[in-house]
Structure 1
Amino acid sequence: MGGTSNRSVERAFKLVDELAENGSGGVSDLAERLDMPVSTVHDYLQALVETGYITVDEKTYQTTTRFLEVGHRQRHRLEVFKAVRDELEDVAAETGEHATLLIEEDDQAVILAVQEGPDAINLFAYPGARMPLHATAPGKAMLAYMPADRVDDIIDRQGLVAVTSRTITDPEVLFEQLESVRQQGYAIDEGERIAGMVCIAAPILDKSDQVRGSICVCGPQSRIDETRRNEIADVIQRAANVTQVNLDYV
């Protein structure tokens, strides 16, 4: 019974993920895309419509904003989000660039909050967006402060997939970079996830030195030279330090 229930839940969420990824779909279309019987897809969709998480209009289904509500509530429960809100706004204003707060969840880096400075370019970054830890500055900033055996486990489960031609795909190179992150206190990725972009991130640690997230600033390679990188690194490290203090009082 339990196995059947688990498969049902898994199939239902596959439908949700497919709709979230592609915007909408009809029963036959979704059944073909997911290689599931039409009758099964129809039953699951009807159940999801009844819960309010999916809506239907002229036989076309799409997700509703109920998922946004769930995510918003969960985000506000997280201590690191409460501790960093004002700091992130200041980072965006001071650097002029795109500033984000990320956490690690299920072996991935997940955006919790976004602030855009006056010069920020549109990166289509939004709360809930997920990305590989190894291919991003914030991901590497968090990996650097995790136990080595946990990093090994993440690599075993997720692999080191090449997102761009500059993504690190060699574990030895990654571990060398993580050592550099610990020494300098911040991480950099140069086009490792988005070609032409430089991202700089500092880890957020709590009073027990456990990593709770990271603050990241991204901007075009053409305007983030060595001097600006150092300036941005100083800004985000200060913000991460203030956030660490705030965590003690959340």
Structure 2
Amino acid sequence: MIKTQTPAIDKAVQIFSYLSQQGGATFSQIYQDVNLPKSTTSSLLASLVAHGLLRQDKNKYYLGLRLYEFGKRAEETFDIKKLALEPLTQLRDITKLTCHLGVLQGAEAIYLSKLESPGAIVVRSWIGKKLSLYSSGLGKALLAWMSDKEIDRLLPDENFKIYTATTIPNKTELKKELAQIREQGWAFDNGEDSEEVNCIAAPIFNKEKHVIAAISISGVSFQVSAERVPQLTKMALATARTISEEVQKY
């Protein structure tokens, strides 16, 4: 959980995150699972419902349509999604694999776009899905050009939650890999976030040469095999350069 100087907002965001995962929940479920005092939860829920940020149906609370309105407006004003659409579509059409565009949001990566593979094998993901920064190719591509101070702020713990047998176990090992990613220009997820799903990711740079987003090519292990990685990497890097050039015009 991110803590700021405005605790009420932090708590509201906790509730939003919880309900986005649960779909809907009762008052008791919310204050118990989010670990908030009863009185705080009660006043927050009442205020959020009044503003349309949550809706109440009988004894359950759900995300409100006003959040959808805000989300759509944020999506419309985020130009990088529009700038990336054509190059990313071409990448999907050439590779026949699922392609994503993602950005940093708090201490996680989040998908802004997903272009589904035309094949029968589907990688389970969706627009708005949050990703671990250390176990996903896209997350590592976003992290790699950050300073150690920034990385430590986003990932304060030395040891990481393990998702699969290949998940990077700690920050020391991650920083070694991030140095390699900076040198080679791209990141790889070897089934580290989800077993049997591999991912190649490349960063998108703005005018100041800061990484503002990343793209990825994802598929099951035989689709993104060791033999195919060099070819896919070249295509991912070329697409990321094209998008970076478009971003840098603004």
The corresponding residue for 1:12 is: 12
Deviates more, 1:60-69 or 1:189-198: 60-69
> What is the identity, as a one-letter code, of the residue corresponding to 2:207?
K
* TM-score relative to the length of structure 1: 0.86
> What is the identity, as a one-letter code, of the residue corresponding to 2:113?
A
CA contact (8 A) 1:215 1:240 kept: yes
> What is the identity, as a one-letter code, of the residue corresponding to 1:205?
F
CA contact (8 A) 1:120 1:219 kept: no
The secondary structure found in structure 1 opposite 2:227 is helix
The corresponding residue for 1:217 is: 217
Task: Name the CA distance, whole Å, in 1 between partners of 2:149 and 2:6.
Answer: 30
| CA deviation map 1:19-58 (0-9, x unaligned) | 2221112233434434556565444323222211222223
Task: Name the CA distance, whole Å, in 2 between partners of 1:244 and 1:25.
Answer: 42
CA contact (8 A) 1:107 1:158 kept: no
> What is the identity, as a one-letter code, of the residue corresponding to 1:92?
R
| CA deviation map 1:157-201 (0-9, x unaligned) | 685332222111243432332232223221111110011111000
The corresponding residue for 1:92 is: 92
In structure 2, relative to structure 1, the CA distance for the partners of 1:146 and 1:16 (3 Å cut) is closer
CA contact (8 A) 2:123 2:218 kept: no
Task: Name the CA distance, whole Å, in 1 between partners of 2:96 and 2:63.
Answer: 34
In structure 2, relative to structure 1, the CA distance for the partners of 1:111 and 1:158 (3 Å cut) is farther
Instruction: Calculate the aligned-residue CA RMSD, in Å.
Output: 2.5
Could you tell me how far 1:151 is from its partner in structure 2? 2.6
- Unaligned ranges ≥5, structure 2: none
The secondary structure found in structure 2 opposite 1:13 is helix
CA contact (8 A) 2:202 2:240 kept: yes
Could you tell me how far 1:128 is from its partner in structure 2? 2.4
Task: Name the CA distance, whole Å, in 1 between partners of 2:41 and 2:182.
Answer: 49
> What is the identity, as a one-letter code, of the residue corresponding to 1:86?
E
Aligned runs of 1:200-239 on 2, under 5 Å? Answer: 200-239=200-239
Q: Percent identity?
A: 24
In structure 2, relative to structure 1, the CA distance for the partners of 1:36 and 1:119 (3 Å cut) is same
The secondary structure found in structure 1 opposite 2:25 is coil
Could you tell me how far 1:15 is from its partner in structure 2? 2.8
The corresponding residue for 1:22 is: 22
CA contact (8 A) 1:103 1:214 kept: yes
The secondary structure found in structure 1 opposite 2:195 is coil
> What is the identity, as a one-letter code, of the residue corresponding to 2:215?
I
> What is the identity, as a one-letter code, of the residue corresponding to 2:230?
N
The corresponding residue for 1:69 is: 69
Task: Name the CA distance, whole Å, in 2 between partners of 1:39 and 1:140.
Answer: 40
> What is the identity, as a one-letter code, of the residue corresponding to 2:235?
V
In structure 2, relative to structure 1, the CA distance for the partners of 1:11 and 1:103 (3 Å cut) is closer
Structure with bigger helix share is 1
In structure 2, relative to structure 1, the CA distance for the partners of 1:204 and 1:45 (3 Å cut) is same
Task: Name the CA distance, whole Å, in 1 between partners of 2:68 and 2:209.
Answer: 31
The secondary structure found in structure 2 opposite 1:46 is helix
Deviates more, 1:191-200 or 1:125-134: 125-134
Aligned length: 246
Could you tell me how far 1:235 is from its partner in structure 2? 1.4
CA contact (8 A) 2:123 2:219 kept: no
The corresponding residue for 2:160 is: 160
Could you tell me how far 1:101 is from its partner in structure 2? 0.6
CA contact (8 A) 2:199 2:217 kept: yes
The secondary structure found in structure 2 opposite 1:218 is strand
* TM-score relative to the length of structure 2: 0.86
Deviates more, 1:214-223 or 1:143-152: 143-152
In structure 2, relative to structure 1, the CA distance for the partners of 1:130 and 1:35 (3 Å cut) is closer
Aligned runs of 1:97-246 on 2, under 5 Å? Answer: 97-119=97-119, 121-156=121-156, 160-246=160-246
The secondary structure found in structure 2 opposite 1:156 is coil
Task: Name the CA distance, whole Å, in 2 between partners of 1:183 and 1:244.
Answer: 18
Could you tell me how far 1:143 is from its partner in structure 2? 2.0
